[in-house]
């Protein structure tokens, strides 16, 4: 939450010679962050980021308390002054008017009210008007301005009603019922969702959208003579809900949703009454109404000095610890090696454990005073992460030979899935998508790459070679969470054989065991089944490679006939041979022989058959085909001896015999 | 071509020892002269060398066939001839190797282009980040991006009705499952995996938020560090932060901690790093620096792991403590490269990808 306060307001609670720049610089390091300083005539405006759990600092007083504590640590004399908690308050008892509010349970933490009669509405003094304007609020009249001024100064919102416009004989604070309507001070009509805190008067009218904005019916205007002043603390969650659903992020709402200190109600009530008397005349006409059902127990937390030093990492003197905590309003008693700290009311919610106290000590002491030390943690050795290594090796290799790596969103649109024939019912769908462009989690990467391919066509030259490695999210029935499968997808302007060659090189480099490419009948839906292969390592399927169905190419507007491959890296990694195997190099020369086979079998099967004919066959290289005739270059080699032509001819005959029909 | 002419004294000697021998030596010389005239390559010269000086060469044949023992002068003559041949071959070799017969060409002609791909900026950044933390002895992990409420929020000390829950930034995939908006689920997962301290891990992964503008994309990357051991303290967080900042951004950069609040750390910090543009002064040419806030840029959040989180991870907060941080990969990348719009990083235009 960001607040705006002026330097003059800050100095109502702060006695120091430090200039604005010094304050902003030093406090930012130890407390709330001063985002910006703006010099204006005779004053400075601070824009301050209040840390979300420190609503006590969302005021001039709160920032002043922090500033005084922090500057002292920089050896700059500074004192927190005009502490409202310490000032005497007097509320007259036994006055004729007695208010009674019917208060529904769990709506308020504390509720205080008082009436003042015979006031004169006019403009606020210039100083007040300036303060409000400088802080981004609009001056209205002396009474309303007082409530706003006190919010800025003390961080405690209050509200005034025109008493004569209220049917005040019966006032009820309750949760709204769905459909109830209230018109707020800004002339906006709100139909409530139910569960909002509202005040209903004796004529069954809603007069306040509590903690967010007052109702128009009881607005204080230039004719107002008598007022009802309230200083409440509401249930924070209900205020937040109303503020968000009504889209009214008023300063009061932002403060109430973080729950300000209920102990501050009476000091602020006392200030308000005092200021109203001074600026608008009038006299208090009712006894103080003060409803505070759940008075809080004092909160005590033990802080062990040795633990503190271990946790912060440096030794902080006990007297420094004590002086820091007391400058922030903490009290307590010292035991042998520890401090029993009592938590001040305004810190009741954010200070709960010893670590919270350690933070207070360390930040005021100054994080910038702590040395930077590398921890010596003796982490036992871990096995290497083969998946991460494989991902990096694969993409490095591909990028080295000309592929460009892309990163696509894991979330894709229904339209893309439909264009690429992917069944959306298998994809995880977001419940609250940002837009239809980002709605389904990918189960395959190829659709995104096809989009990338299309958008790059014609931009550079006639080639597009791209790759992506990312997770696919495969829902697994019976499992709460999907399987996140690291996947490599590549798409290339090259033909099938060249792309297949690239994959084969990767597999060999990665030492993937025994891989093979086999015809498939059921590839992923965008692949053309007649020109697509399943890729196996042993019996484990690790991916698919092929061309894309013409209808999919047409849906995406892709020209030419690119090759697409998608590899399941988790399965691939399971087939990597991690052992180093040394194969001896023969001292005897290899002999090369061309051999032509006539067969209707797949080339892959023919090569397998040739290879398996003799252990002397070292390699089979495919040369060319003419109809059913296929020519290979076969190399023969022995580790023990020179081979002679006769035995090679024998092997060639055996090979031929295997293809006799 | 310039050849050495035989000295006249040699011929007189030969005449005296017999015309037959002189004739043979003459023939060898003549043959050598023809051969040397014809040869143009070092390989061809090697053949000439073998022909005249090899084991079976002409000179050795002379030693075998002529009556050297009866005529000591004869031996000397052959030896002289041998030296002469050696000299002529050496001279010719020298000539061949040093006379440039290769055609000249325009050395400024563009080289033949080779395929040149690119690794994505994010990959490069992750590799660099990973290597920095590996040097510090961290182990890299990857944890789920689709996560249950427990690991994502409840176990991280964010109860069901906490305001942090309705920030509208989280994508839901089920009633109890989300796309992670941070990598902190890795904290609980790592503690469960290791079961006891020490822990020193870096979890790098994809994260998702319901936002899109110049500094937000629905998907981005974070790196989450977690160190848990006996007596881990705030100075250790500072040590690792400072090391990372200097290693990644440069030796002249500095970091600072500012107080902050997160539910899963206590205390919590915002970490700033000095701005490169204004060198941490906040001023460029007497104007306020446009890139940073008074000399500092926000790096990201960090903190000491909340005892409840340590407990929820199955460890005992009385026996160990830890720190954690979660920073954006794209964020550090933008801080380092000065790329103005996060959405650019996710461009698929090869003309952009090509540049890195």
The pLDDT score that the predictor gives to residue B77 is 83
Characterize the bridge pairing of strands A404-405 and A465-474: parallel
Strand, coil or helix: B266: strand
Note whether residue A139 is domain-resident: yes
Q: What is the mean pLDDT of chain A?
A: 94
Residue A335's CATH number = 3.30.56.10
- The reply to whether residue B348 touches residue A28, judged by beta carbons under 8 angstroms, is no
User: pLDDT tens across A568-605, in order?
Assistant: 999 999 999 988 888 899 999 999 999 999 999 999 99
First to last CA, chain A: 84
Q: Is the pLDDT of residue B7 over 60?
A: no
Residue A459 within a domain: yes
- Whether omega before A636 lies within 30 degrees of 0, making that bond cis, reads no
A232, part of any domain: yes
In a domain, A214, yes or no: yes
Q: Which segments of A539-628 does DSSP mark as H helices, in order?
A: 550-556, 569-574, 603-611
A141-145, A306-310, A538-542, B103-107: the lowest-pLDDT one: B103-107
DSSP state of A122: -
Mean pLDDT computed over B319-335: 94
- What residues are paired with B300 via a beta bridge? B271, B327
Same domain, A70 and A165: no
A126 within 8 A of A315, measured Cβ to Cβ: no
Q: Where are the beta strands (DSSP E) in A494-604?
A: 515-519, 527-537, 540-548, 563-568, 591-598
For residue B1, what pLDDT is reported?
A: 44
Whether residue A616 lies inside any domain: the answer is: yes
- Name beta bridge partners: B188: none
What's the rounded Cα separation, in Å, for the pair B184 and B186?
A: 5
Query: A395 contacts in B (CB within 8 Å)?
Result: 119, 123
Cβ within 8 Å, pair A53-B261: yes
C-alpha distances in Å from residue B226, one per residue of A208, B180, B304: 48, 17, 10
Residues of chain A found within 8 Å of residue B256, distances taken between Cβ atoms? 29, 367-368
Q: What is the pLDDT of residues A84-117, one digit of tens each?
A: 999 888 888 778 788 889 999 999 999 999 999 9
DSSP 8-state assignment for residue A120:
-
HSE-CB for A395 with a 13 A CA cutoff: 27
Between CA A230 and CA A252 the distance in angstroms is 13
Global pTM reads 0.87
Decide if A229 contacts A127 (C-beta within 8 A).
Answer: no
Residues of B in Cβ contact (< 8 Å) with A382: 139
The pLDDT of residue B5: 55
- Which CATH number do you get for residue A518? 3.30.930.10
| Token pair recorded at residue A433 | 């998508």
Q: A132 vs A45, A127, A222, A277, B55, CA distance in Å?
A: 11, 9, 19, 20, 113
* Residue A599: CATH number of its domain: 3.30.70.380
CB neighbours of residue A177 within 10 Å: 12
Task: With H, G, I as helix, E, B as strand and everything else as coil, classify residue A622.
Answer: strand
Q: Same structural domain for residues A54 and A148? A: no
Please give the pLDDT value at position B102. Answer: 66
| A448 close to A508: Cβ distance less than 8 angstroms | no
Collect all residues with Cβ–Cβ distance below 8 Å to A581 and sequence separation of at least 6.
none
Arithmetic mean of pLDDT over chain B: 88
Task: Quote the minimal CA–CA distance from B119 to chain A in Å.
Answer: 5
Do both A392 and A534 map to the same domain? yes
Residues A503 and A544 grouped into a single domain: yes
- Rounded to whole angstroms, the Cα distance separating A376 from A450 reads 48
Q: Is A348 on the interface with B (CB under 8 A)?
A: no
The interface pTM score, or ipTM, of the predicted complex is 0.90
A511 shares a domain with A625: no
**Distance between CA A504 and CA A498 in Å, rounded?**
10
The mean per-residue pLDDT over the stretch A48-67 comes to: 96
Q: What is the spatial distance between Cα A574 and Cα A512, in angstroms, rounded to a whole number?
A: 9
- Which CATH number covers residue A121? 3.50.40.10
Residue carrying structure tokens 């008075």: A295
Q: Which of B123, B204, B293, B348 to mutate to test the interface with A (most CBs of A within 10 A)?
A: B348
B-chain residue closest to A50, CA distance = B260
- Nearest CA of chain B to the CA of A517: how many Å? 26
Please identify, among A82, A112, A140, the residue that sits at the C-terminal boundary of a domain.
Answer: A82
pLDDT tens digits, B52-109: 998 888 888 887 777 666 677 778 888 888 899 999 999 999 888 887 666 678 889 8
A474 and A502 assigned to the same domain = yes
Q: CA distances (Å), B345 to each of A435, A468, B214, B250, in order?
A: 20, 14, 11, 22
Largest CA distance in chain A: 129
Say yes or no to pLDDT of A68 above 60.
yes
Q: Are residues A444 and A541 in the same domain?
A: yes
Asked if residue A95 is part of any domain, the answer here is no
Chain A hits for B307, CB-CB cut-off 8 Å, are: 353, 355
Residues A343 and A479 in one domain: no
Measured torsion, CA atoms of residues A161, A164, A168, A171, in degrees rounded to the nearest 10: -30
Of the three residues A54, A82, A110, the one that is the final residue of a domain is A82
Instruction: Evaluate if residue B164 carries a pLDDT over 80.
Output: no
Interchain pair B117, A402: CB under 8 A = yes
pLDDT band with cut points at 50, 70 and 90 for residue B16? low
**In the predicted structure, residue B290 carries a pLDDT above the cut 90:** no
- pLDDT for residue B3 is more than 50: no
A79 touches chain B (CB under 8 A): no
Which 8-state DSSP code applies to residue A55?
G
Question: Above 90 in pLDDT, residue B310?
Answer: yes
Asked if A434 and A510 sit in the same domain, the reply is yes
Does residue A314 share a domain with residue A267? no
- Distances in Å between the Cα of A290 and the Cα atoms of A109, A146, A554, B43, B277 are 11, 20, 75, 114, 57
Q: CA-CA distance, A318 to B143, in Å (whole number)? A: 43
Phi, psi of A512 (to 5 degrees): -80, 130
pLDDT reading at B251 higher than 90: yes
Q: Is residue A427 part of a domain?
A: yes
Strand A197-200 and strand B255-262: the pairing is unpaired
- Same domain for A523 and A437: yes
Closest-CA residue to B167 (of B209, B130, B218): B209
In a domain, A375, yes or no: no
Whether pLDDT at A220 is above 70: yes
Q: What is the pLDDT of residues A615-656, one digit of tens each?
A: 999 999 999 999 999 999 999 999 999 999 999 999 999 999
Taking the Cβ of residue A311 and every Cβ of chain B, the question of whether any pair is shorter than 8 Å is answered with yes
The shortest CB-CB distance from A431 to any of B173, B233, B351 is to: B173
At residue B163, the pLDDT reads: 76
Split into its structural domains, chain A has a count of 5
* Whether A362 and A393 share a structural domain: no
Gap between the Cα atoms of B116 and B5, Å rounded: 60
Name the pairing type of β-strands B177-179 and B171-172: antiparallel
Rounded CA separation A315/B235 (Å): 12
CA-wise closest residue to A142 among A213, A220, A208? A220
> Which among B177, B227, B304 has the least Cβ separation from residue A481?
B177
Nearest CB neighbour to B307, from listed A355, A408, A434: A355
| B286 CA: distance to closest CA in chain A (Å) | 16
Residue A615, domain extent: 591-658
Distance from C-alpha of A519 to C-alpha of B9, rounded to nearest angstrom: 87
| pLDDT above 90: residue B336 | no
Last residue of a domain, one of A82, A109, A142: A82
pLDDT of residue B167: 62
């Amino acid at each position: 939450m960001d607040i705006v306060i002026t330097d003059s307001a800050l100095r109502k609670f702060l006695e120091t010679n430090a200039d604005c720049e010094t304050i902003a610089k030093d406090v930012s390091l130890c407390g709330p962050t001063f985002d910006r300083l703006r010099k204006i005539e005779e004053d400075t405006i601070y824009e301050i980021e209040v840390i979300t759990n420190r609503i006590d600092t969302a005021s001039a007083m709160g920032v002043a308390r922090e500033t005084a504590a922090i500057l002292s640590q920089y050896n700059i004399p500074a004192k927190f002054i005009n502490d409202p908690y310490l000032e005497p308050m007097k509320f007259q008892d036994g006055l004729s008017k007695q208010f009674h509010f019917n208060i529904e349970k769990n709506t308020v933490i504390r509720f205080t009210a008082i009436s003042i009669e015979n006031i004169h509405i006019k403009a606020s003094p210039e100083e007040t008007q300036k303060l409000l304007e400088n802080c981004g609020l609009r001056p209205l009249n002396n009474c309303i301005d007082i409530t706003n001024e006190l919010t800025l100064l003390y961080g405690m919102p209050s509200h005034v009603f025109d008493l004569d416009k209220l049917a005040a004989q019966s006032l009820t604070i309750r949760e709204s019922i769905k459909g109830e309507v209230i018109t707020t001070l800004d002339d906006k009509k709100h139909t409530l969702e139910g569960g909002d805190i509202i005040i209903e008067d004796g004529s069954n009218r809603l007069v306040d959208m509590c903690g967010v904005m007052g109702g128009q019916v009881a607005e204080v205007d230039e004719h107002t003579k008598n007022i009802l002043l309230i200083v409440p603390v509401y249930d924070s969650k209900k205020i937040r809900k109303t503020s968000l659903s009504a889209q009214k992020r008023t300063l009061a709402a932002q403060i109430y949703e973080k729950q300000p200190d209920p102990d501050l109600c009476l000091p602020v009530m006392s200030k308000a009454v005092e200021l109203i008397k001074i600026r608008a005349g009038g006299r208090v006409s009712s006894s103080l109404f003060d409803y505070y059902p759940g008075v809080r127990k004092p909160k005590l937390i033990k802080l062990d000095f040795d633990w503190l030093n271990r946790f912060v990492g440096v030794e902080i003197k006990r007297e420094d610890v004590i002086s820091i905590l007391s400058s922030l309003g903490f009290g307590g008693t010292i035991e042998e090696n520890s401090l029993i700290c009592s938590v001040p009311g305004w810190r009741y919610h954010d200070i709960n454990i010893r670590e919270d106290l350690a933070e207070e000590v360390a930040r005021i002491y100054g994080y910038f005073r702590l040395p930077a030390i590398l921890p010596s943690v003796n982490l036992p050795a871990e096995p290497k992460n083969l998946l991460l290594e494989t991902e990096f090796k694969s993409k490095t290799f591909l990028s080295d030979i000309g592929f460009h790596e892309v990163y696509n969103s894991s979330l894709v649109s229904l339209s893309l899935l439909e264009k690429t024939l992917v069944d959306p019912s298998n994809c995880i769908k977001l419940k609250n998508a940002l837009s239809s462009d980002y709605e389904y989690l990918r189960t395959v990467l190829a659709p995104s790459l096809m989009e990338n391919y299309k958008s790059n066509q014609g931009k550079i030259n006639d080639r597009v070679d791209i790759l992506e490695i990312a997770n696919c999210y495969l829902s697994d029935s019976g499992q709460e969470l999907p399987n996140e499968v690291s996947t490599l997808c590549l798409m290339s302007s090259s033909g099938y054989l060249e792309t297949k060659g690239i994959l084969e090189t990767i597999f060999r480099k990665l030492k993937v065991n025994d891989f093979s490419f086999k015809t498939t009948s059921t590839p992923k839906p965008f692949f053309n089944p007649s020109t697509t292969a399943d890729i196996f390592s042993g019996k484990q399927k690790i991916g698919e490679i092929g061309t894309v169905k013409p209808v999919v190419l047409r849906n995406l507007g892709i020209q030419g006939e690119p090759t697409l491959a998608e590899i399941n890296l988790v399965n691939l990694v399971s087939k990597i041979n991690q052992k180093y195997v040394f194969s001896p190099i023969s001292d005897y020369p290899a002999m090369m022989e061309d051999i032509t086979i006539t067969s209707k079998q797949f080339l892959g099967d023919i090569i397998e058959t040739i290879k398996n004919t003799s252990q002397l066959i070292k390699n089979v290289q495919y040369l060319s085909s003419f109809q059913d005739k296929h020519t290979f270059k076969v190399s023969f080699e022995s580790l023990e001896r020179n081979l002679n032509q006769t035995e090679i001819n024998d092997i060639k005959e055996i090979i031929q015999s295997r293809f006799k029909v | 071509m310039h050849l050495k002419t035989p000295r006249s004294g040699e011929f007189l000697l030969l005449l005296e020892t017999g015309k037959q021998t002189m004739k043979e030596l003459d023939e060898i010389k003549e043959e050598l002269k023809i051969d040397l005239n014809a040869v143009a390559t070092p390989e061809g010269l090697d053949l000439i060398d073998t022909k005249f000086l090899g084991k079976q060469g002409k000179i050795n044949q002379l030693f075998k066939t002529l009556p050297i023992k009866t005529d000591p002068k004869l031996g000397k003559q052959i030896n002289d001839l041998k030296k002469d041949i050696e000299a002529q071959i050496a001279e010719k070799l020298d000539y061949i190797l040093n006379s440039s017969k290769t055609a000249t060409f325009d050395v400024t002609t563009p080289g033949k282009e080779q395929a040149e791909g690119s690794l994505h900026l994010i990959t490069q950044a992750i590799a660099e980040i990973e290597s920095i933390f590996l040097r510090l002895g961290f182990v890299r992990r990857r944890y789920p991006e689709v996560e249950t409420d427990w690991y994502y929020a409840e176990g991280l000390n964010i109860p069901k009705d906490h305001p942090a829950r309705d920030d509208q930034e989280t994508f839901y995939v089920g009633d109890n499952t989300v796309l992670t908006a941070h990598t902190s689920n890795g904290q609980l997962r790592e503690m469960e995996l290791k079961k006891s301290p020490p822990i020193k891990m870096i979890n790098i992964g994809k994260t998702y938020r319901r936002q899109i503008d110049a500094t937000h994309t629905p998907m981005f990357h974070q790196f989450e560090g977690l160190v848990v051991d006996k007596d881990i303290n705030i100075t250790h967080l500072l040590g690792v932060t400072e090391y990372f900042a200097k290693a990644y951004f440069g030796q002249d950069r500095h970091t600072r901690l500012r107080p902050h609040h997160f539910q899963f750390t206590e205390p919590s910090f915002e970490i700033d790093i000095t701005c490169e543009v204004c060198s941490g002064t906040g001023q460029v040419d007497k104007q306020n620096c446009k890139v940073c806030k008074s000399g500092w840029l926000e790096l990201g959040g960090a903190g000491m792991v909340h005892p409840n989180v340590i407990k929820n991870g199955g460890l005992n907060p009385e026996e160990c403590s830890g720190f954690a941080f979660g920073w954006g990969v794209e964020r550090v990348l933008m801080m380092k490269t000065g790329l103005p719009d996060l959405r650019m990083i996710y461009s698929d235009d090869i003309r952009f990808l090509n540049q890195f």
